[in-house]
């Protein structure tokens, strides 16, 4: 049987190219985090190349178990913000009150003007008061929320909020959580426990 070095070389080159492509894809695939609740599972994908400070902070909270005991505790709908001229729709979660040992310093604000990310349906973003105060609390957008972007009117300082990823599985769960009946103002009388927070990629 005669050898066909030309054909073998083409096959070898093709195999190497395929392997490199698969390796590159696996290295570049954005991290994902799973949030488990009794209403279902939410999986979020985060973008370290776009929002490196915010993503590093979120993943550190996840990897070091600092989000243990977190809940979804606030639901904001069109029908429960009568005093807000600019209305939004989100659910908010996190550990809310971290112990001193688990608390991390607040992070620099990465605005949507810097990152190019936007508050679209399913976007996960950081809750804050003043810019540079975000730490462990986050929210997920229900529907597009441009007023939360840089220059938006929801926050008087105009800096918007730091979007850093999006929901890739479980928007139906997000909507079920938003439909829960809040107690006083927008806060749930019984916050919904997030029973597991783990990185899945």
Which residues does 38 contact at the CB level (< 8 Å), separation at least 6?
192, 193, 195
Which residues does 133 contact at the CB level (< 8 Å), separation at least 6?
106
Q: Is the dihedral of CA 175, 176, 181, 183 positive or negative?
A: negative
pLDDT mean over 53-63: 98
Specify the CATH number of the domain 31-199. 2.40.100.10
Predicted TM-score (pTM) of this structure: 0.86
Q: Look at residue 102 in the predicted model and tell me its pLDDT.
A: 83
Structure-block tokens of residue 28: 């570049």
Phi, psi (deg, nearest 5) at residue 189: -60, -35
Neighbours of 139 (CB within 10 A): 24
Render pLDDT for 94-141 as a digit per residue (tens, 0 to 9): 998 877 788 899 999 999 999 999 999 999 999 999 999 999 999 999
Q: Look at residue 5 in the predicted model and tell me its pLDDT.
A: 47
Q: Look at residue 164 in the predicted model and tell me its pLDDT.
A: 98
Percent with pLDDT over 70 in the chain: 87
Percent with pLDDT over 90 in the chain: 80
- Domain residue limits, the chain: 1-30, 31-199
pLDDT mean over 22-35: 75
Bridge partners for 42 per DSSP: 35
């Amino acid at each position: 049987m005669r050898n066909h070095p030309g054909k073998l070389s083409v096959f070898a080159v093709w195999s190497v190219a395929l392997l490199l492509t698969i390796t590159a894809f696996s290295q570049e695939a954005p991290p994902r985090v799973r949030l488990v609740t009794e209403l279902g599972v939410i999986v979020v994908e985060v973008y370290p190349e776009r929002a490196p400070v915010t993503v590093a902070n979120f993943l550190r909270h996840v990897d070091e178990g600092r989000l243990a005991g977190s809940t979804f505790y606030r639901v904001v709908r069109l029908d429960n913000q009568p005093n807000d001229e600019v209305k939004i729709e989100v659910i908010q979660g996190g550990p809310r009150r971290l112990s001193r040992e688990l608390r991390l310093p607040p992070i620099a604000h990465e605005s949507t003007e810097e990152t190019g990310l936007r508050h679209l349906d399913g976007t996960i973003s950081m809750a804050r008061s003043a810019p540079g105060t975000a730490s462990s609390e986050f929210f997920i957008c229900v529907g597009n929320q441009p007023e939360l972007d840089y220059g938006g009117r929801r926050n008087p300082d105009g800096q918007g909020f730091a979007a850093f990823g999006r929901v890739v599985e479980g928007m139906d769960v997000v909507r079920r959580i938003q439909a829960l009946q809040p107690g006083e103002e927008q806060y749930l009388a019984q916050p919904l426990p997030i029973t597991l927070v783990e990185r899945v990629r």
